[in-house]
Copies of this chain bind each other. A is one copy, B any other.
Amino acid sequence: MNPSKILIVGAGAIGAFYGALLAKAGAEVSVVCRSDYRQVKQNGFQINSATLGAWRFQPHRVLAAVADYQDAADYLVLSTKITPDSNLPELIRPGVAASTAIVFIQNGVEIESTISRAFPGHEVISGLAFICSNRTKPGEITHLAYGRLMLGNLPEGVSAKTAQLAALFNQAGIDCKTVADVVTARWQKCVWNAPFSPLSVLSGGLSTKDILDSQEALVRAIMQEVCLIAQALGHRLPDNIIEQNINNTHAMPPYKTSMLLDYEQGHSMETEAILGNAVRAARAKGVACPHLETLYALMKLKELQVAKTA
């Protein structure tokens, strides 16, 4: 069997790390990488993982744009941050051959709809990453903790191609599960992210522990709204999901959310993928979510303030 051809679009902290693992497992991994193109073209990536060791990842090809790929990928992995102004379909179109499955490895809810609509004949695989990983300098990725993945097809199910991708990740030492309803899994993750990510930023940097100890009622109200939106979309979440998230967070050590890290490091934040998409889904379904609406509006103000002082 020929090695799988994989094109990573957005080879940052997440994309380069998972790409390096797929290469380790024998896939032919090329990367599109904009900001660090020169550095990576010359030297590849240095991967420093707290759990999997350190190694150099030399992509099969390093490209400045998707159009330069000129090949038929089995998987096109999208791991750029989704921002409201990125035209994703146009960005990836040159890399989507007839046989290409489009893979998301990104945070948030309802993030795949534009692509699903733009490429109706293509398999879309949605991936959730539970990972703490940073681009520490050009071409250097530091993987600090976690790393497990969940993959599933849209709108549901697990195809042979998805199972094969999961097998590659597992082979490289990453726990990768396949799930039949990955959309529900996304909403489940959102139950935690929707309160803690914005509250950590808007409070000015509090840990998950401080937030929960001080404002558990607000955290629960936000989680409840996420459950209602998911349910309105046909993704009923487990009855005990709020209790479970509260208990798990109480049991965790104080934790800085990745949105807070993004904010502190001056990176763009996943406001739209996590809050904006949830709020838009709620509006479309007529579900009231005043707490989420408030947080979303406040995050937009925060982003405006960041842009003004940049």
Assembled-state Cα–Cα distance A118/B287 (Å): 45
* CB within 8 Å of B: which A193-212 residues: 199, 202-206, 210-211
Does A42 reach chain B (CB closer than 8 Å)?
A: no
A interface majority secondary structure: helix
Chain B residues, Cβ within 8 Å of A290: 221, 290-291, 294
Smallest CB separation, A81 vs chain B (Å): 21
Report the separation of the CA atoms of residues A300 and B306 in the bound assembly, to the nearest whole angstrom: 22
Expressed in whole angstroms, the minimum distance between the Cβ of A62 and any Cβ of chain B is: 38
A298 at the A/B interface (Cβ < 8 Å)? Answer: yes
**A132 located at the interface, meaning its Cβ lies under 8 Å from any Cβ of chain B in the complex:** no
Residue interface mask A283-307, B partner, CB < 8 A = 1: 0000000110111011011101110
For A203, what are the chain B residues with a Cβ–Cβ distance below 8 Å? 298, 301-302, 304-305
Chain B residue nearest in CB terms to A218: B297
Q: What residues of B have a CB within 8 angstroms of the CB of A211 in the complex?
A: 301
> What is the copy number of this chain in the assembly?
2
Question: What CA separation (Å) do A301 and B196 show in the bound complex?
Answer: 12
* Chain B CB within 8 A of A98 CB: no
Closest partner residue, chain B, to A206 (CB atom): B305
A51 at the interface (CB under 8 A from B): no
Q: Which B residues touch A70, using CB under 8 A?
A: none
The answer for the CA separation of A81 and B288 in the assembled complex, in Å, is: 36
Q: Does A308 contact B (CB under 8 A)?
A: yes
A136: Cβ under 8 A from any B Cβ: no
Report A202-241 CB contacts with B as 1/0, cut-off 8 Å.
Answer: 1111100011001101100100000000000000000000
Complex Cα gap A306–B205 (Å): 10
Q: In the complex, which residues of chain B have a beta carbon less than 8 angstroms from the beta carbon of A217? A: 297
Q: Which of A256-305 contact B (CB under 8 A)?
A: 290-291, 293-295, 297-298, 300-302, 304-305
In the assembled complex, the CB of A169 is this many whole angstroms from the nearest CB of chain B, namely: 37
A308 touches B210 (CB 8 A): yes
User: How far apart sit A298 and B222, CA to CA, in the bound complex (Å)?
Assistant: 13
The 8 Å CB contact of A206, one of B214, B293, B304, is: B304
**Is A300 touching B205 in the complex (CB atoms < 8 A)?**
no
Binding site for B on A (CB under 8 A): 199, 202-206, 210-211, 214-215, 217-218, 221, 290-291, 293-295, 297-298, 300-302, 304-306, 308-309
**29 A-B residue pairs with CB within 8 Å:** A199-B301, A202-B202, A202-B298, A202-B302, A203-B298, A203-B301, A204-B302, A204-B305, A204-B309, A205-B305, A205-B309, A206-B304, A210-B301, A210-B308, A211-B301, A214-B300, A215-B301, A217-B297, A218-B293, A218-B294, A218-B298, A221-B293, A290-B290, A290-B291, A290-B294, A291-B293, A294-B294, A294-B295, A298-B298
